[in-house]
Structure 1
Amino acid sequence: MEREVVCEQQPQKEAAPQKQESQKERPKRQWWQVREEKQRKEAYATLDRVFHEFSEGHGNMQAYLDTQSRFPFHSARNAILIGEQFPSAQRVGGYKEWASQGIEILEEEKRLPIIILEPGKAYRREDGSVGQNFYAKEVFDIPQTTARDEAQPQVSYDDRLLLKALISNSPVPIRAVEELPVQGRGAVFDQEQNAVLVKKGMDAPDIFRCVSLELANVQLSRNNAGYSRETDGYKAYAVSYMLCQRYGVDTGGYNISRLDSVFQGKDPREDFPAALTDMHNAFKEINGRMARNMGLTRVGKQKR
């Protein structure tokens, strides 16, 4: 109402200059700001689509897990974005990251960036809670750079080295036993002993798969007070699979497709992202312990 009264009291011819002045004061956005906003909206649209696919029961969990296993330092959301745009990506970096290694982005590839979301400034909402702004970032995989013709190292790990790294600094002891309290399994977490019990006589890959599953359950329960193996055990299954994928342990015995429908009917904006974050955090922590034990650098780990 106040705005209407003011307009009536002033001559119409004076209103135009005020409007022009207001328009002049409004800062004009730069081309890169318009581009970043467009990329950010497209990234969120991609995530919404994938989240809804899982809530409808026809997502592709293996595609996500395979990508996340190669990018443990990237968030679950960014792993999805990388996988959706460049499924075969092995090692991505922005302009500065590649330039610091003496590598350039190919001119024809600059039009085809992989868009991920990077955290910006935090802000406080009206209710007092803290929010997080994100902005779009352009990254590029090796084939999009001048390093595309360089031979990429093929990394393989000794079985004993992998097992040693897996149990190194474990949150609970690992003990070899003749028989397990639960039949049909190669390893089990015993709450009374607060230890992972491993059946003797298995080969190294089987031990890695069994122990990684139990350690994933332990890690998830430590990260989340309400964790239940009965209802959330699929998360540990996924973490174990990612660890095997990352370190070249055969995954033929995993049936990841059964996880595609786990989130059917669940909230695509809450339940699915939260579960992915749980899985990623557990995977990142176990992988971090293994990498430190094996003396891997961050760059070295990114190459796998």
Structure 2
Amino acid sequence: MNNFDDLFEQQPQPEATEKPEPQKEKPKKQWWQIREEKQRKEAYATLDRVFGAFSEGHGDMKAYLDTQSRFPFHSARNAILIGEQCPNAKRVGGYKEWASQGVEILEEEKRLPIIILEPGKAYRREDGSVGQNFYAKEVFDISQTTARDEAQPQVSYDDRLLLKALISNSPVPIRAVEELPGQGRGAMFDPEQNAILVKKGMDAPDIFRCVSLELANAQLARSNAEYSRETEGYKAYAVSYMLCQRYGVEAGGYNISRLDGVLQGQDPKEEIPAALTDMRDTFKEINGRMARAMGLSRAGRQKEQER
């Protein structure tokens, strides 16, 4: 051994190290997953734009209310999405819903679906609260199907039946009186009597308009103990308008444009969606009572699913 051999023998040997396990590649998304994600993002972008417009004081309340009046079983968000994509939509359904009725989506319309948001699985956040996932769903209006040229039945309601249905199962009693305080008032809620007082001698459309307004106020107050007619009465006004639109009662006297700025300055993420949901839920509740009183089944009224 020469004088240098021991230098090599004394060199520390490198410690054996475990090779890291190769990271598993995430499975590639399928084409339909990519499309659904894109549609969902676009739907949320549309809602952000509409809520933002209301917050800035130039939203289109009439457009929303007109659509919601035709789709009481859809959420406020989905009514907005339907109205933005197909303003004149009358009745929507997915592929399976239309197929179950023997109706096909027109080939040229299959690439032009209306995108709504369908609730998925709930999940629990880190703070313990429960969240809700949503995914995009494609639906199509009847105008996009083979049923578009079929004659749609025109429904008209007897005035007496309509008024009877309106006051059916009212949250408060409704009484006819000779006169009411205040000029031009046809109906009013009297807290002392806990009743809606209706002036005698009015015609049916006037009764429907003024009583539906008071009923909406009573329903909103019943649903929310903090409801204030002074600051939130516009919600009842909107509900009354939607009921008129749904049942063919003349609504030309409603000044809906004044509601375009009523949400100005409110939070577009929380407050504005909540206000529109209050309107929708109250409308749905009163509309549901009316439909049951008139013996209308949900399927007979409108073949659509609640979302």
Instruction: Give the shorter-chain TM-score range.
Output: over 0.9
Distance in 1 (CA, whole Å) between partners of 2:121 and 2:269 is: 22
Q: What SS does structure 1 have at the residue aligned with 2:206?
A: helix
Distance in 2 (CA, whole Å) between partners of 1:150 and 1:10 is: 75
Distance in 2 (CA, whole Å) between partners of 1:271 and 1:161 is: 37
Q: What SS does structure 1 have at the residue aligned with 2:41?
A: helix
Deviation at 1:299, TM superposition (A): 2.8
Deviation at 1:303, TM superposition (A): 6.9
Report the residue type matching 1:236 in the other structure: A
Whether 1:234 and 2:231 are equivalent positions in the alignment is no
* 1:303–1:155 Cα change, 3 Å: farther
Q: 1:22 aligns with which of 24, 31, 55?
A: 24
Query: Per-residue displacement from partner, 1:19-72 (whole Å, max 9, x unpaired)?
Result: 5x522xx22211111111100000000000000011111110000000000000
Distance in 2 (CA, whole Å) between partners of 1:85 and 1:296 is: 29
Q: Which runs of 4+ in 1 moved over 3 A?
A: 8-11
Report the residue type matching 2:192 in the other structure: E
Q: Is the 8 A contact 1:90 1:303 kept in 2?
A: no
Q: What SS does structure 1 have at the residue aligned with 2:101?
A: coil
Deviation at 1:10, TM superposition (A): 5.9
Match of 1:45 in 2: 45
Whether 1:200 and 2:195 are equivalent positions in the alignment is no
Report the residue type matching 1:132 in the other structure: Q
Distance in 2 (CA, whole Å) between partners of 1:129 and 1:159 is: 48
Distance in 1 (CA, whole Å) between partners of 2:77 and 2:183 is: 38
Distance in 2 (CA, whole Å) between partners of 1:178 and 1:185 is: 12
Distance in 2 (CA, whole Å) between partners of 1:128 and 1:29 is: 30
Match of 1:259 in 2: 259
Number of residue equivalences: 290
Structure 1 unpaired stretches of 5+: 1-7
Match of 2:4 in 1: none
Q: What SS does structure 2 have at the residue aligned with 1:278?
A: helix
Structure 2 unpaired stretches of 5+: 1-14
Per the normalisation by structure 2, the TM-score is: 0.91
Query: Per-residue displacement from partner, 1:258-287 (whole Å, max 9, x unpaired)?
Result: 000011111111111010011111000000
Distance in 2 (CA, whole Å) between partners of 1:194 and 1:265 is: 34
Distance in 2 (CA, whole Å) between partners of 1:303 and 1:137 is: 17
Distance in 2 (CA, whole Å) between partners of 1:184 and 1:94 is: 47
Deviation at 1:146, TM superposition (A): 1.0
Equivalent residues in 2 for 1:18-97, closer than 5 Å: 18-19=21-22, 22-23=24-25, 26-97=26-97
Match of 2:161 in 1: 161
Report the residue type matching 1:73 in the other structure: F
The answer to which structure has the higher helix fraction is: 1
Query: Per-residue displacement from partner, 1:198-253 (whole Å, max 9, x unpaired)?
Result: 00000000000000000000000011111000000000000000000000000011
Per the normalisation by structure 1, the TM-score is: 0.92
Deviation at 1:121, TM superposition (A): 0.4
Report the residue type matching 1:175 in the other structure: R
Higher mean alpha-carbon deviation, 65-74 vs 153-162, is at 153-162
Cα RMSD for the two superposed structures:
1.6
Match of 2:176 in 1: 176
Q: What SS does structure 1 have at the residue aligned with 2:164?
A: helix
Q: Which has the larger radius of gyration?
A: 2
Report the residue type matching 2:119 in the other structure: P
Report the residue type matching 1:250 in the other structure: E
Match of 1:3 in 2: none
Higher mean alpha-carbon deviation, 272-281 vs 176-185, is at 176-185
Whether 1:143 and 2:143 are equivalent positions in the alignment is yes
Q: Is the 8 A contact 1:182 1:188 kept in 2?
A: no
Report the residue type matching 1:197 in the other structure: L
Report the residue type matching 2:153 in the other structure: P
Match of 1:300 in 2: 300
Deviation at 1:9, TM superposition (A): 8.2
Deviation at 1:182, TM superposition (A): 3.4
